[in-house]
Every structure is written in C-alpha cells, then in structure tokens.
Amino acid sequence: MNDFNLKYSSSPVSDTGSFRLLEFPPELYKCIENSTDNTQSWSIKGESLDDAVLCTADKTYTIRSVVLSNSVLVVTPSLDSHGSAEDAVIRDQLHEVYELVPSIPKLHKLNGLLRGSEYNEGQEDDVDMTSDSDREDYRPSKRRRLTLEDAREILQASDAEISQGLKSRRVLILKGELRPIAPSYLTQILELLLNHLVSTSIPHQAAPLVALSSALETDHEIRRDVSEQVMAWFGQIDDGIWKLDVNATVKEVGLGILRAYKDEPIVEFDFLAKWKSAVGDTFETTITLDLLLANYLSSLSTLTGATELTYFPSSALPTDPAARFTDIFLTRPRWKAEDISPFLEDIVVNNKERDKLLLKYARAITDKEGVWYTARVMYNG
C-alpha cells in the first residue's frame, strides 16, 4: 500500500461545503457501467420549496439526505505543481450522504397548470374568457397556455413519465399547447369510433387510421388531429393501421357513464345495462367492474337491498399519503383490504410501499369476513 502525505487545502473557504456524496442504487450504477457512448442524460428538478428529485429518461428518484455516523473526508491529488504523486489534499469533510429512492412522478401540479384549458366539442378558438367580462374595456385576449416544453421544465418527473401522465389524464397537444379533453367529448368520440367500426365491418385489430379520422371529421366535425390523438391513447398505431385496445376503450366509456353518478348512486344492474348499450354487442362481453377499480364505491341500498355504485375516482384524492387516508376514512370508516388497495396504487411505487402506508395510517382488524382497515386516528365527519 502506498503512503500519502496528507495536507489541508490552501483554499478552505471555497472548498468547504462544495462537495456532495451521492449514492446510486444498483440499477443506475449499472446504467453508468454499461454506457459506452456517454449518452446518459439525467437532471435534478425542483423549485425552492420542493424536495429535489433526480430524473432519468424514464424514472424519478427522490433525493434523501442521510446523516453519517462517521465523517467522510474528501481527498484529491495535490493541486500544487511542485507536489509529488504521493501528495493528497483534504478538500472537505462530509457528515451526510444523499440517497436516491424510487419515487412516483410528481405530476399533481398539472391539474392547476391546465385549469381553464379544457378542449370541448367545436372549440376552435384560443380566446381567454377568464377575464372580468363586466369591465367596460373587456376584450377577449389569447392567454398563453402550457406547452410540452413548459411541462418538462416545471414537473418533477422524467420525460417518459410526463408523456404517460398526459396520456392517462387525456391531455391533447394542439398547436403545441396542452389541452385536456372534456370527458363527455372523449366518451362521445370513443362511442362514435366503436359504432363506425361495427357499422362498416372494419376489424378493430386492423383499422385504417386516416379513413377513421376522415370519417369522424366529415360526418361529425371532429378534428383529425384530435381523433388521431384519441386513437393513439386507446390503441397502437403502426404504419397507418390502428389496433384498438378494447379494455382501455370500454373502460373509458364506462367511466363516462359513471361520472354522472357522483352525488346520487346508480343501481349496478342499471349501470351495466347502460354500459353495454354504449359499447354495443361486439364489445359488451369485455365489460366487468374490475375495469373501473379505484373509480367507484359500491354499497347496498337500505331500501331495496340492491347493490349501488357511486363515482369516486382515486385521481381526485390528495397525493399526500396522510391527506389521502384522511379523505378515505372520512368517506368510509371501515374498508375491506381488497377495496382500499386500489385507492393507494397511484401514490406508491410498489406493493411493499403500499403495505408500509397501511401500517402507518391504518389499523387492521380481522373477522369472519376477512381483513378490514380503520383509521389509526379518528376523524369527525
């Protein structure tokens, strides 16, 4: 083993606090090891009040500080041109290390950023109607909307996660701007697509994209750039051929019907009948309530004994775990294990993290019907 002559830095003021120790998880370390062309591009995102995250091309990691029980010295070769190879300089002393913990993408800001930008049927203008129309000098003016580049700059998520988040939230990109499509209009487009496929005997596994979008534009005045993006959300497009994702499409149509029953429930039998009618005979065999998990609550009517469904989407619940559990238990004081789990899937990375949250915020009770969860803290509704 070589001996080194240790000495302190000649510029302690500028060196102290200028170094950070970052520990990479195995999967990221392998990416670095296997990279041969130096094309790895990662970024650290976060505003002043945010917890910083590191984003790769397709994943997000929370940067977490861990205090070290022993200090770590940062030592570099001597910068002195007269020093020998055995000289080393103590540049800094570290008392913490930063860990990278897999995290869900932080996309909750999208709801606020896209407010007022909804795209609906026949909406071609880019006019900002949010101004005070009672003012004498009121003039509609174009308001700058969020672009994809803006979203990538603002949101603490990887590019792949942002793209998936826009798809799952049904956000169109029109003239470079992000426009969430109105749910009722989306349901209308999907029903028209299904009806057109059946009426023209076009196979839903190999439908010509241009022919479909042109038909919707000619017969129903639906913009082609809108219908083609919708088809991309609900299937695969390859060489001008659209392959319908039947489950995703049937699910969205079901959600479109269920949204009307947020305040008043609908009998399950009646809901299923409406759903089957909307998708038609060709696709009704795909219908199952499992497609709508984490979007409804079921209960037995005290008057008729029939099972009733109420629209209750997990996407409308807070993303903060403590607030999420507060809302869940204010809605229902007791939950079966299989009922509560779907309402936690969008705020956890995996089942292990979900179980940790249940252990922290809920109390498990087992009876002859199975496992139930109640709140650890009692809430007054």
User: How confident is the model over 66-79, as pLDDT tens digits?
Assistant: 998 988 888 888 75
Residues 292-320, mean pLDDT to the nearest whole number: 95
Lowest mean pLDDT among 33-37, 122-126, 243-247: 122-126
In whole angstroms, give the CA distance from residue 324 to residue 361: 10
Q: Are 341 and 328 in contact (CB under 8 A)?
A: no
- The answer to whether the Cα torsion of 85, 90, 92, 93 is positive or negative is positive
Residue 212 forms part of a structural domain: no
For residue 370, is pLDDT > 70?
A: yes
pLDDT of residue 89: 83
Lowest mean pLDDT among 76-80, 119-123, 210-214, 252-256: 76-80
For residue 139, is pLDDT > 50?
A: no
Neighbours of 89 (CB within 10 A): 20
Residue 263 forms part of a structural domain: no
Lowest mean pLDDT among 25-39, 196-210, 229-243, 306-320: 25-39
For residue 206, is pLDDT > 90?
A: yes
For residue 179, list its beta bridge partners. Answer: 172
Radius of gyration of the chain (CA): 27
pLDDT of residue 142: 55
pLDDT of residue 164: 96
In whole angstroms, give the CA distance from residue 185 to residue 292: 19
Question: CATH number for the domain including 370?
Answer: 1.10.10
For residue 49, is pLDDT > 50?
A: yes
Residues 326-355, mean pLDDT to the nearest whole number: 96
- Per DSSP, the three-state class of 170 is coil
| pLDDT, averaged across the chain | 89
For residue 208, list its beta bridge partners. Answer: 241
For residue 136, is pLDDT > 50?
A: no
pLDDT of residue 124: 59
Q: Are 372 and 334 in contact (CB under 8 A)?
A: yes
Indicate if 72 and 115 belong to the same structural domain. no
pTM metric for this prediction: 0.83
pLDDT of residue 132: 45
pLDDT of residue 84: 57
Indicate if 72 and 150 belong to the same structural domain. no
Residues 48-62, mean pLDDT to the nearest whole number: 92
- Per DSSP, the three-state class of 335 is strand
pLDDT of residue 127: 44
Lowest mean pLDDT among 1-5, 42-46, 224-228: 1-5
In the chain, % of residues over pLDDT 90: 71
What domain range is 171 assigned to? 105-121+145-181
Indicate if 12 and 81 belong to the same structural domain. yes
For residue 305, is pLDDT > 80?
A: yes
Q: Are 159 and 152 in contact (CB under 8 A)?
A: yes
pLDDT of residue 90: 84
For 119, phi then psi, to 5°, come to -105, 130
Indicate if 41 and 88 belong to the same structural domain. yes
Question: CATH number for the domain including 78?
Answer: 2.60.40
pLDDT of residue 128: 45
* pLDDT range class, residue 135, cuts 50, 70, 90: very low
For residue 288, is pLDDT > 80?
A: yes
pLDDT of residue 37: 64
Indicate if 79 and 36 belong to the same structural domain. yes
Residue 362 forms part of a structural domain: yes
Residues 82-86, mean pLDDT to the nearest whole number: 59
* pLDDT range class, residue 141, cuts 50, 70, 90: very low
Residue 49 forms part of a structural domain: yes
The count of structural domains within the chain is 3
Q: Are 339 and 358 in contact (CB under 8 A)?
A: no
In angstroms, the first-to-last Cα distance of the chain is 69
Q: What is the token pair recorded at 22?
A: 């970052």
Residue 339 forms part of a structural domain: yes
In whole angstroms, give the CA distance from residue 302 to residue 297: 15
In whole angstroms, give the CA distance from residue 272 to residue 285: 11
In whole angstroms, give the CA distance from residue 21 to residue 95: 10
Indicate if 77 and 21 belong to the same structural domain. yes
pLDDT, tens digit (0-9, with 9 covering 90-100), for 101-132: 999 999 999 999 999 999 998 775 544 444 44
Indicate if 63 and 23 belong to the same structural domain. yes
DSSP 36: S
Residue 221 Cα to chain centre, angstroms: 31
* pLDDT range class, residue 230, cuts 50, 70, 90: very high
Let me know the angle formed at the C-alpha of 285 by 346 and 192, rounded to the nearest 5 degrees.
Answer: 80
Indicate if 67 and 115 belong to the same structural domain. no
